[in-house]
Amino acid sequence: MCDFMRRGFLVIGNRAKTKPFNLNDLPGAGRIDILCRCVSQALFLSHSIRRNAEIYLLLLGSPNPPKAIKFKGNEIRKTWPDERNIAGHINKALSFEVGEKWFKSEPGIFVAKKGLEKLLSELSENYEIYYMREDGLEIGSIVSRMENPLFVLGDHIGVKKEDEEIILNFAKNIVSVSKISLMAEQCITIANYELDRVQSQREREISK
Amino acid sequence: MCDFMRRGFLVIGNRAKTKPFNLNDLPGAGRIDILCRCVSQALFLSHSIRRNAEIYLLLLGSPNPPKAIKFKGNEIRKTWPDERNIAGHINKALSFEVGEKWFKSEPGIFVAKKGLEKLLSELSENYEIYYMREDGLEIGSIVSRMENPLFVLGDHIGVKKEDEEIILNFAKNIVSVSKISLMAEQCITIANYELDRVQSQREREISK
């Protein structure tokens, strides 16, 4: 599979802790478990990693928000798809004092003290931004026209009104993967699935 | 959403431990982490549960295989989508000495000492059995003709040849969700997604 369709995800963890937390209680750390599953579903395949994908987590919980963490599929090492492993990497990233510039906490994992607007402003230079919301356009109807999309979505709480306003300033469109209210990581899996279908279609056309 | 499309999943955990294990090392318990994610993705929605879904885990690891565990979406209580929570329920189920008959370890969770053939023979009374394998028919091409499907799939190791022969004796067809080799829980999410689309289509037709 060639890598021409880059893809990204940004998940907002409204209450996700911004200091190291107890690995035995990820839900109690502001639902870090959700963010871990999002990383897992965004980057991992069976026995391999999506080298063309990256995921950004925006942690907005106490005591030191905002913190942004980036996982790059083509650079991570010793990262596995189980929640506890990914949580360990998040914990390590949160153990550093950082400023607004990305700091590499481990191969392929970066952390910075920056908020939604700064993050989206940076991401919009390399990605088409799509906001994922249930009442958006059905992803199947526009996925074939996407180029290097990055999907923004909320955790179990969703996206706060003021954050939504910021996202809509950057978003090319609002997309929906289902009329049913799915968990964040399920939305990511479905976006990858739809993008894979488009990519495979494009590859067939190129090879003709 | 009405519940007329029942759906089931059966995941084979080739090395999954068949006695209680350490919740701090789910991958080390024969990749119980994969089975937990499968349960999570099969049954959970955002803030709710698929009451029309159930998932069966077949644990084939040491020391006491085979063990089958069933989670019923419409009956489970105090079950959450994080791996550790689900692993706790599996652990509890494994703590009982059981025979071939289903034993209820908690609301909506049942355990039995039975192997693949017995399990599929039982399941085929209520479900159309589909075997999930990468080289199968594209799910999108046949999903609209499915009635109460149950999908059988393997963990990171896949499905052993002798188990595959048993499955093929019961399977109505072999289906694939992607040409890319995905993780088991991703296959489940995509099957649910495709089934939801069909269900929503059928509901629109009924309401006309």
pLDDT surpasses 70 at B4: no
Which residues pair with residue B91 across a beta bridge? none
Question: What crossing angle do the helices spanning B83-94 and B32-43 adopt, rounded to 10°?
Answer: 110
Please, which residues bridge with residue A67 across strands?
Answer: A59
Contact yes or no for A47 and B181 at CB 8 A: yes
Comparing CB atoms, the residue among A24, A85, A190 nearest residue B189 is: A190
* Residue located via tokens 């994969």: B34
pLDDT at B73: 97
How many CA within 13 A on the CB side of residue B168?
9
- Strand ranges, E, within chain B: 7-13, 44-45, 48-49, 53-59, 67-72, 103-106, 109-112, 128-138, 149-154, 173-176
Quickly state the pLDDT bin for B107 (edges 50, 70, 90): very high
Q: Considering only alpha carbons, which residue of chain A is nearest residue B47?
A: A156
ipTM: 0.96
The predicted structure's pLDDT at residue B205? 87
**Cβ proximity of A49 and A43 under 8 Å:** yes
The predicted-structure confidence for B131-160, as pLDDT tens digits, reads as follows 999 999 999 999 999 999 999 999 999 999
Rounded to an integer, the average pLDDT of B43-70 is 97
The pLDDT of residue A171 is: 98
Per residue, the 3-state secondary structure of chain A, as one string, reads CCCCCCEEEEEEECCCCCCCCCCCCCHHHCCHHHHHHHHHHHHEECCEECCCEEEEEEECCCCCCCEEEEEECCCCCCCCCCHHHHHHHHHHHHCCCCCCCCEEEECCEEEECCCHHHHHHHHCCCCEEEEEEEEEEEHHHHHHHCCCEEEEEEECCECCHHHHHHHHHHCCEEEECCCCCCCHHHHHHHHHHHHHHHHHHHHHHHHC
Residues of chain A with pLDDT under 50: 1-2
- What residues in B contact A53, CB-CB < 8 Å? none
Instruction: Please name the residue that has the structure tokens 């499907």.
Output: B149
Contacts of B177 in chain A (CB under 8 A): 193
Mean pLDDT value across residues B171-194? 97
* Distance (Å, whole) CA A205 – CA A92: 44
Task: Flag whether pLDDT at B53 surpasses 70.
Answer: yes
Beta strand B44-45 with B48-49 is antiparallel
Beta-carbon neighbour count of residue B11 at 10 Å? 26
Four-point Cα dihedral B108, B109, B113, B114, nearest 10: 60
pLDDT higher than 60, residue B45: yes
Chain segment B57-96, per-residue pLDDT in tens: 999 999 999 999 999 999 999 999 999 999 999 999 999 9
Contact B153, A150 (CB under 8 A): no
Yes or no: say if A140 and A177 are a contact pair by the CB < 8 Å rule: no
**Residue of B1, B41, B46, B200 to mutate, interface with A, max A Cβ within 10 Å:** B46
Across the interface, do B44 and A1 touch by the CB < 8 Å criterion? no
Q: Hey, where are the domains in chain B?
A: 7-207
Residue B1 scores a pLDDT above 50 = no
pLDDT of res. B147: 94
Closest partner CB to A80 (pick from B27, B45, B181): B27
Interface with chain B: mutation pick from A7, A82, A200, highest number of B CBs within 10 Å: A82
- pLDDT for residue A4: 60
Residue B206 confidence (pLDDT) above 90: no
Interface probe, candidates B23, B47, B78, B84, chain A, greatest A C-beta count within 10 A: B84
Indicate the class that CATH gives domain A7-207: alpha beta
**Chain A nearest CA to B40, separation (Å):** 10
